[in-house]
Amino acid sequence: SATRHSLRSLNGLGDGNPINSAIYLGVTTLAAWWLFPGATKPARCCLLCVMAISVVLMLMTQSRGPLGALMLVLVLLSLQRRSRSDWILWGLAIVVGGFAIWQLDLLTAITNRIDAPNYRMAIWTSAIGLIRDHLLFGQGLGSSADIAFADGSGGTALVSHTHSIFLETFRIGGLIGGFLFVAMLGRLVMARIRSRQRPSFFDFWLVFGLLCLCSNGRHPMIRPSVEWFAFWIPFYLASQFSTPDEAPAAVGQPRPGEISPQGRR
C-alpha cells in the first residue's frame, strides 16, 4: 500500500521494507519496556518517550505481524515478572491508545488494515507443495521458490521465498535441514528449562523475532539482514547470557550462602 511507511521513507535512512522497519521498532519498544521497572524517574520519562515514538512509527508501517507479536511478548513478559510497573505501563497504553483512537479516528484505519487482503495462506499452501516435492533434502540453498499467486487486482505476483522462516528452512533444507533447525531451537529451550532460570531479555527478543519471521521470514542462512537481527543475534545472546536466579548483592554485603567478613573472625 502507498500509505505504508518504512524507516527509509520517514527519514531517508534505514530499511525500506515496512515489515522489517516494524521489527526494528518492536525490539526498541521491548527493550524500553524491559528497562522501565528498574529505571530512575528521569530515565522512565525518556523510556516512555522512546516507547511512544516507536509504537507510533510501528503503526505508520501498518505491519500487522510485528504489532501482534509485540503485544503477545509484552503480555508474556508482564505475566512472567509480575511487576507493578508493567501494570502501570498497560494502564497508560490503554488510556493513551483509547484517546488516540477516539480523537484521530484510528479505528477506521485499523479496521481497514485488518480487512486488507492477505496472501500468506496462498503462498504457504504452495510452499507446502514444494516441501512435499523435495521432502528429504529440499530445493537447496540459493534456490528461488517462484510462487505465483493472484494479487487481487486481476494480475499475478511472483515471490522468491515462502514468507516464513520455518517453511523456508524446510523448503530449502528438506526434512533434514528443517529438523536440525527445530532441534537447535529445542536445545536452547531445554537448557532454559533445566537451568530453571527466569527468561532473560534476549529470550523475549528471540521469541518476538521468531513470531515476526513466522509470517515474513526467509531462510536464516543468508547475507546480513533482518533475519540476523531478529534471529541470529538474540539466539546467540540468549545462548550465552541468561538472567541470574539472584540479584547481585550490594557492595559490602555477602551473597546468598557466603559468610560475611565479620563471620570469619
Mean pLDDT of 93-107: 76
Determine which of 1-5, 202-206, 207-211, 214-218 has the lowest per-residue pLDDT on average.
1-5
CB atoms within 10 A of CB 105: 10
At residue 254, the pLDDT reads 45
Instruction: HSE, CB side, 13 Å, CA atoms: give it for residue 207.
Output: 18
In this predicted structure, the answer to whether residue 109 has a pLDDT above a threshold of 70 is no
Give the amino acid at 108: T
Per-residue pLDDT tens digits for 30-75: 999 999 999 999 999 999 999 999 998 998 888 889 999 999 999 9
Rounded to whole angstroms, the Cα distance separating 252 from 261 reads 9
SS3 at position 148: strand
- Mean pLDDT in the chain? 85
- 79: its cell numbers: 505475566
Angle subtended at Cα 181 by Cα 227 and Cα 33, rounded to the nearest 5 degrees = 45
Per-residue pLDDT tens digits for 151-179: 666 678 888 899 999 999 999 999 999 99
At residue 209, the pLDDT reads 97
At residue 149, the pLDDT reads 80
Instruction: Tell me phi and psi for residue 149, to 5 degrees.
Output: -150, 155
Most confident option among 38-42, 111-115, 249-253: 38-42
Angle subtended at Cα 90 by Cα 248 and Cα 227, rounded to the nearest 5 degrees = 70
What sign results for the dihedral spanned by CA atoms 242, 244, 248, 254?
negative
